[in-house]
């Protein structure tokens, strides 16, 4: 049987196949941060399409941590119910579901917010200049991640992903390009990891140990003086004993750079992270063909594969991938009459 359609187990979570839909911002909420009907349709449709693991888009842990004014949020108990409805229906369709908790830091574009960052450096000339975070700011954000994790558990999510990639706040602390602090949160690798370590510790106090905690990383920053895959592996090794179970490997967006992208352009970074940390990894990056996904798994370059833009184009990609790989999977009963016979 094709490995793409074999189960994968992490902690107490069994995922029916190796296909993950990564978090992709929909920018479809409003200033309240609530889940809208669009979100329900979007995520449930991919579960019907037989995606194994779905990760809900970047969800802000506080209002000043939004990427945009249309981000989902989990900074208030009133925001739990809308997400619970999505979680319940996705699970009814046989998929598993996680949520990505995020703080945008200096990349917040929501109006009327006083934005913060490890150092007072704007992303580029079109962004506001952030205030350098005080120790109290750091403590507040750590607590905000923990409170959001508590609400994620209330909503019934199977997994939490901490967004440590794409130039958002956690990534801003990790990168020497954006962290110019001279206190215990800046300078050495051990110091730059401290903020994330405190977040993991706080989240693990409220997130059940039997549930998986995943970290998304930018394994290549594409800029001189920035982090590369080997550096990110070192960072992960300083953190993994705090309770990180799996790594979602992406790249870029820390500073404005032109990236060369092509099918599978991030897979070698995932291989490096997997080899140097001995943690399971998820690889992706413009993967559209089932044969390519299968090659990545068969050659043990990664443990799962994320399919992003292709699932936006085609929410039923797993059904068609199974046919191409000669695997007979169960279709939703409502669609059985349309099943293509192998």
Provide the pLDDT for residue 1. Answer: 79
27 Cβ neighbours under 8 A, 6+ residues apart: 68, 70, 71
Distance of CA 72 to the CA centre of its chain: 14
Provide the pLDDT for residue 341. Answer: 79
Q: Are 219 and 170 in contact (CB under 8 A)?
A: no
Mean pLDDT by 10 residues, the chain (342 residues): 96 98 98 98 98 98 98 98 98 98 98 97 96 98 98 98 98 98 97 98 98 98 97 97 97 95 97 98 98 98 98 98 96 93 75
Q: Are 40 and 84 in contact (CB under 8 A)?
A: no
Given the structure tokens 């800029």, which residue do they identify? 223
Provide the pLDDT for residue 103. Answer: 98
Does residue 73 sit in helix, strand or coil? strand
Q: What is the pLDDT of residues 205-259, one digit of tens each?
A: 999 999 999 999 999 999 999 999 999 999 999 999 999 999 999 999 999 999 9
pTM of the model: 0.97
Q: What is the DSSP letter of 19?
A: E
Provide the pLDDT for residue 153. Answer: 98
- What CATH number has the domain spanning 22-44+53-309? 3.20.20.70
User: For residue 307, what are its two tokens?
Assistant: 């399919």
Neighbours of 218 (CB within 10 A): 26
Pairwise CA distance, residues 116 & 122, whole Å = 10
Stretch (H or E) spanning 200: helix 189-204
Q: Are 43 and 54 in contact (CB under 8 A)?
A: yes
């Amino acid at each position: 049987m094709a490995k793409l359609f074999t189960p994968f187990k992490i902690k107490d979570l069994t995922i029916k196949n190796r296909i993950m839909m990564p978090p992709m911002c929909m920018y479809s909420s409003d200033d309240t941060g609530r889940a809208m009907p669009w979100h329900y349709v979007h995520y449930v449709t991919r579960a019907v399409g037989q995606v194994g693991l779905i990760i809900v888009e970047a969800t802000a842990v506080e209002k000043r941590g939004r990427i945009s004014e249309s981000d989902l949020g989990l900074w208030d108990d009133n925001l739990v119910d809308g997400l619970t409805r999505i979680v319940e229906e996705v699970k009814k369709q046989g998929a598993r579901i996680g949520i990505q908790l995020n703080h945008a830091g200096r990349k917040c574009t929501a109006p009327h917010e006083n934005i913060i960052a490890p150092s007072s450096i704007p992303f580029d000339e079109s962004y506001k200049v952030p205030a350098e975070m005080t120790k109290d700011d750091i403590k507040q954000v750590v607590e905000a991640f923990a409170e959001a994790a508590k609400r994620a558990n209330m909503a019934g999510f199977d997994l939490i992903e901490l967004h440590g990639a794409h130039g958002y706040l956690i990534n801003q602390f990790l990168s020497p390009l954006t962290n110019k602090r001279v206190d215990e949160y800046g300078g050495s690798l051990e110091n730059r990891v401290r903020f994330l370590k405190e977040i993991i510790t706080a989240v693990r106090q409220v997130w059940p140990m039997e549930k998986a905690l995943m970290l998304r990383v930018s394994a290549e920053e594409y800029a001189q003086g920035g982090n590369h895959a080997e550096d990110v592996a070192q960072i992960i090794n300083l953190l993994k004993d705090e309770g990180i179970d799996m790594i979602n490997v992406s790249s870029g967006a820390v500073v404005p750079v032109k990236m060369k992208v092509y099918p599978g352009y991030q897979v070698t970074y995932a291989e490096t992270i997997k080899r140097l940390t001995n943690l399971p990894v998820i690889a992706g990056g413009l993967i559209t063909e089932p044969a390519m996904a299968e090659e990545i798994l068969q050659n043990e370059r990664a443990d799962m594969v994320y399919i992003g833009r292709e699932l936006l184009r085609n929410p039923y990609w797993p059904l068609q991938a199974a046919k191409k790989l000669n695997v007979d999977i169960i279709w939703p009963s409502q669609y059985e009459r349309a099943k293509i016979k192998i």
